[in-house]
Amino acid sequence: MNLKKTVLSALLLLLSTFSLQAQSTKAWTRWWWMGSAVSKAGIKAQLTAFHKAGIGGVEITPIYGVKGQEGNFLPFLSPQYLEMLDYTTQLADSLGMGVDMVLGTGWPYGGPQVEPAHAATRLEHQAFELKKGESFAQNLSPAKPESKLVAVLAYGEGGFFEDLSEKIQNSQLQWTPPQDLKVYAVYEAKTGQKVKRAAPGGEGFTLDHYSRAALADYVIPYDQKLKAPVRAIFNDSFEVYGADFTPGFLEAFAKLRGYDLRPYLHLLIEKTDSELANRVRSDYRETLGDLLKVEFDRPWTAWANAKGYVTKLQAPRLARQSPRPLCHG
């Protein structure tokens, strides 16, 4: 009896291996779920047609729906939607096909679970020109409630720099400059971007792709609801427009690049074209790339792997010169 079970288990493992090999050597197709207006009959018809055409698997991406079909839309991650996803994976498996899915709808990652604190973030500033000895009193409260003042920095001739952040009291700065200066109030603000081509139930802010905490919050609904045995989790696109900052960026920059960005931040704001400015700009971009990799891509992959999924990433193409890094200390 034990021998029969062993032989049966070996045969099942062999068949599973052959099925995976067959899937990997065949072409796959992206499968748009328009409005997630899908039914078991429609899923069966399309998967069967794919199978007969030699397709090895499907990559499901729910997007906006077709006008006139609103009554058939299934809200993303609703019980009805999850039932259709379960049916799809079961039927695909019976046909020797695989199923991948985007962890969201449309692109880039985002949705209704993304609170403003975890939404895509950008650096904004206010600029002031001060005269020597001229009293300066200014309310530096952010223009929007979701924004946050992170630094107030003064720059002048001869390489003068002073961080005025400690002088702020209740968003007020009262100060007399020792020489003619430019002062920049730097804010952590939100891009306001929302998911592009979102499916019903998937609408919401784009995720901060430089934040591990934002990702951990983002996957909570999937921890709670996603049970279907999909093969891979797909990250469709890094089209996160204007996202060039994240909470704790200045501290991360100092740790990764070995020097404080604050004395040089005006070079980025003013878009100065010099060797020093270009080296700082290169370090700034490299830090964003590091945060994307370390605070998003790697924990995202670890999360998926822990659930038995592999990951697929549609990475952006970047073409730029990278001057040698500036590193002090």
**Per-residue pLDDT tens for 57-116?**
999 999 999 999 999 999 999 999 999 999 999 999 999 999 999 999 999 999 999 999
Predicted confidence at residue 278, as pLDDT, reads: 95
Q: How does pLDDT run across 251-288, given as a tens digit for each residue?
A: 999 999 999 999 999 999 998 899 999 999 999 999 99
Query: What tokens does 216 get?
Result: 């951990």
Q: Which residues of the chain have pLDDT under 50?
A: 1, 12-19, 318-329
Q: How much of the chain is in helix, strand and coil states, percent to nearest 5?
A: 40, 25, 35
| DSSP H or E segment with residue 163 | strand 160-163
Of 235, 239, 245, nearest in space to 317 by CA: 239
Residue among 248, 114, 252, 249 nearest 192 (CA): 114
pLDDT given at position 11: 52
Question: What pLDDT score was predicted for residue 6?
Answer: 60
pTM metric for this prediction? 0.86
| Peptide linkage before 108 cis (omega within 30 of 0) | yes
In the chain, pLDDT over 70 holds for what percent of residues? 88
